[in-house]
Chains A and B, each alone.
Chain A
Amino acid sequence: MQVRRDHVAGAVILLAGVLVLAASTDLPFGTLASPGAGMLPTVVIALMLAFAVLLLLGAGASPPIGAIVWTDAAHAWRVVGVTAVAVALYIPLGFIASIALLLFVLTFVVERKPFMQALAFSGGATLLAYLVFGTLLNAPLPRGFWH
């Protein structure tokens, strides 16, 4: 049997539904006259499982899993990785250092723009954003451990 797109999607959702259902055992369902905190989640998970089964049943008509184009994945994961590092550093290093780093790495390393252009862009854009949000709009941006 050829594995198709909806086989994978349906199986993942089915598995996720079962796991969430297992994590819901401590939530009281209550009764119809006095519904508890677990009632809606249980009903919704049941619906999710039902739709996942429907997806699996109709999966034969979906394209093969190999037909999904992943040519953009390498770029996407690079962007996610760089953003994750910037988010991790956002509080400890503060807005200016972490965002300037994010912009520089994305333009110089990921997009391979010339060093000086990337440097000027990341520095300029960060300072402009700091002026607009931090100074003009008075938004409390993180200032890092050195403050």
Chain B
Amino acid sequence: MEATLDSLALGFSVAFRPDVLFYAFLGCLVGTLVGVLPGIGPLAGISILLPVTFGLDATKAIIMLAGIYYGSQYGGSTTSILMRIPGEASSVMTCVDGYAMAKRGRAGAALTIAAVGSFVAGTMGVILLTVVAPPIAKFALAFGPPEYTALLVLGLVFLAYMSSTGLPRTLLMAALGLLLGCIGIDVMTGHFRYSFDIKELGDGIGIVPVAVGLFGLGEILSTPSKTVTEKVMPPRLAELLPNRTEWRQSVLPIARGSVLGFLVGIVPGSAHIIASFLSYAVEKRISKTPEEFGKGAVAGVAGPESANNAASTGAFVPMLALGLPTGPVTAVLMAALLIHGVPPGPMLVTEHPQVFWGFIASMYVGNLMLLALNLPLVGVFVTVLRIPYAYLYPLIIMFCIIGVYEVNHSIVDVWIMLLMGVVGYLLRKFDFDPAPLVLGLVIAPIFELSLRQSLIMSNGNWQIFVERPIAQALLIVCALLLSLSALSLLLKRRDWRAKLAQAEAGDGTDRG
């Protein structure tokens, strides 16, 4: 514990440097805006701004990009409460009771509860991250290529199990991502794969054009401007502070949401979305007045908002400790670290302690910044919401083009982004979630390398994956999850994932 505190002190010495504080603030501000604005999520925001970080060192880059991620979870509640439009998918549940509170003239109180809940959950999440990540990283030092292969397979299966679009569709998208990740020179043999004499494809397809295309442009194409409403229910800032009853009603949901969110966040999948959904369901189930839910229940705002923030922090545990991205956002963050020559994983704590602990310490500071940003500046964010979408989306397209082009100064990348935008639009029409595709693309090189290394070290004996205890245990979990999914499919049971899909579909219709 003493060593952890010493390391954390090192982290704070990094996080409190004025230049690092500036980038943390910038990340939090942009993240809040990304969360506030419907039609642009944290993934698109991070992807578009990724090239801007190329001139920075790894610590500042990851601190700024992570600030966008957890900042967006704060910002998402503003549009949910004031406009009944989830600025971010994880704020869908906040729409229900947050907007109902706003209609009763309690918009200020709802915003404060959401911000305080987000702050408590975010901070609690970082404390848990501080405690949990280093021992997991230490344990993962025992991992060899077979264990990594099994872990990556488990990550994909877990993602598919948690997905609201169904196991075959999710795994299909992940396979497509893995296939895209095979494009370019094979690092072990030097063979060109699917590059069709286009020299820019020799290095493979970058994560940025794919992510920006699928999530930035794809979202714009799916959102015709005439359907975006700009009606804002103005908050009564004079009533910003919740009353004593509202504070009391929010304490336990915030605590429960924080713990639940962090645990869900560790698991691969759209953790922050699932966490808010589960938290709402739990709060409604244990409430003495469940009939209040949907009509402005304080717990319906406090629980989900805390859960989605804690989940966004929890998602950093596997990314930092194991080098395993649990979702598209952490996949892009991982790509950002790799671009800066800092591979995430068990060696990160020992080889780059300034990055690891500086990043963790910056999250304590970032959560404080967000609390300070979100309440006093709510009026500014409401003004941003009044920018007509007809002007906003051309600007986003411009940022997409600049961002993608600046990565490699390659126009081919911009064409890939445009193509991926169309693919993203069509995937949404056919009810495919593009997130596993991005995840597959990011893990493809690591997965291929560990799989081939495993086979080479066992002289072609595939039993290496079931003979080593850790790999065996991970694959048993895979088998269990696949069996559960198959069972659920056979019984055609309408479980929580179906309800989640319905909620996400509701998100889309709200926007539309």
A interface list, Cβ under 8 A from B: 5-6, 8-9, 13, 20, 23-24, 27-28, 31-41, 44-45, 47-48, 51-52, 54-55, 58, 62, 68, 70-72, 75-76, 79-80, 83-84, 86-87, 90-91, 95, 99, 102-103, 106-107, 111, 113, 121-122, 125-126, 129, 133, 137-142
The answer to whether B178 and A40 touch across the interface, beta carbons within 8 angstroms, is: yes
The answer to whether B176 and A48 touch across the interface, beta carbons within 8 angstroms, is: yes
**15 A/B residue pairs, CB under 8 Å, sorted by A:** A9-B430, A27-B191, A33-B460, A34-B456, A38-B193, A72-B223, A75-B224, A79-B397, A83-B397, A84-B418, A102-B398, A106-B393, A107-B391, A122-B394, A139-B402
Q: Mark B437-450, 1 if CB is under 8 A from A, else 0.
A: 00000001001100
**Residues of chain A lying within 8 A (CB to CB) of residue B455:** 32-33, 35
Cα A89 to Cα B430 with chains together (Å): 32
Q: Tell whether A102 pairs with B172 under 8 Å between CB atoms, given A27-B191, A76-B221.
A: no
How many B residues touch A, CB cutoff 8 Å? 61
Q: Mark B413-433, 1 if CB is under 8 A from A, else 0.
A: 011001001100100011110
Cα A91 to Cα B411 with chains together (Å): 8
**Residues of chain B lying within 8 A (CB to CB) of residue A102:** 394, 397-398, 401
Q: Tell whether A106 pairs with B394 under 8 Å between CB atoms, given A20-B179, A34-B456, A40-B178.
A: yes
From A80, A87, A99, B221 is in contact (CB under 8 Å) with A80
**Residues of chain A lying within 8 A (CB to CB) of residue B390:** 107, 111, 113
Main secondary structure of the interface of B (DSSP, over half): helix
**Residues of chain B lying within 8 A (CB to CB) of residue A34:** 456, 460
Cα A51 to Cα B235 with chains together (Å): 49
- Kindly state whether residue B22 has any CB partner on chain A within 8 Å: no
**Residues of chain B lying within 8 A (CB to CB) of residue A125:** 394-395, 398
The answer to whether A33 and B175 touch across the interface, beta carbons within 8 angstroms, is: no
**Residues of chain A lying within 8 A (CB to CB) of residue B401:** 83, 86-87, 90, 99, 102
Cα A24 to Cα B459 with chains together (Å): 25
The answer to whether A129 and B398 touch across the interface, beta carbons within 8 angstroms, is: yes
The answer to whether A47 and B456 touch across the interface, beta carbons within 8 angstroms, is: no
- Kindly state whether residue B186 has any CB partner on chain A within 8 Å: yes
| Residue of B168, B172, B394, B425 most packed against chain A (CB within 10 A) | B394
Q: How far is the CB of A57 from chain B (nearest CB, A)?
A: 9
From B172, B225, B391, A55 is in contact (CB under 8 Å) with B172
**Residues of chain A lying within 8 A (CB to CB) of residue B399:** 129
Cα A103 to Cα B397 with chains together (Å): 9
- Kindly state whether residue B405 has any CB partner on chain A within 8 Å: yes
Q: Tell whether A107 pairs with B168 under 8 Å between CB atoms, given A23-B194, A139-B406.
A: no
- Kindly state whether residue B182 has any CB partner on chain A within 8 Å: yes
From A37, A48, A95, A122, B193 is in contact (CB under 8 Å) with A37
**Residues of chain A lying within 8 A (CB to CB) of residue B103:** none
- Kindly state whether residue B222 has any CB partner on chain A within 8 Å: yes
Q: How far is the CB of A26 from chain B (nearest CB, A)?
A: 9
The answer to whether B168 and A87 touch across the interface, beta carbons within 8 angstroms, is: no
Cα A39 to Cα B448 with chains together (Å): 9
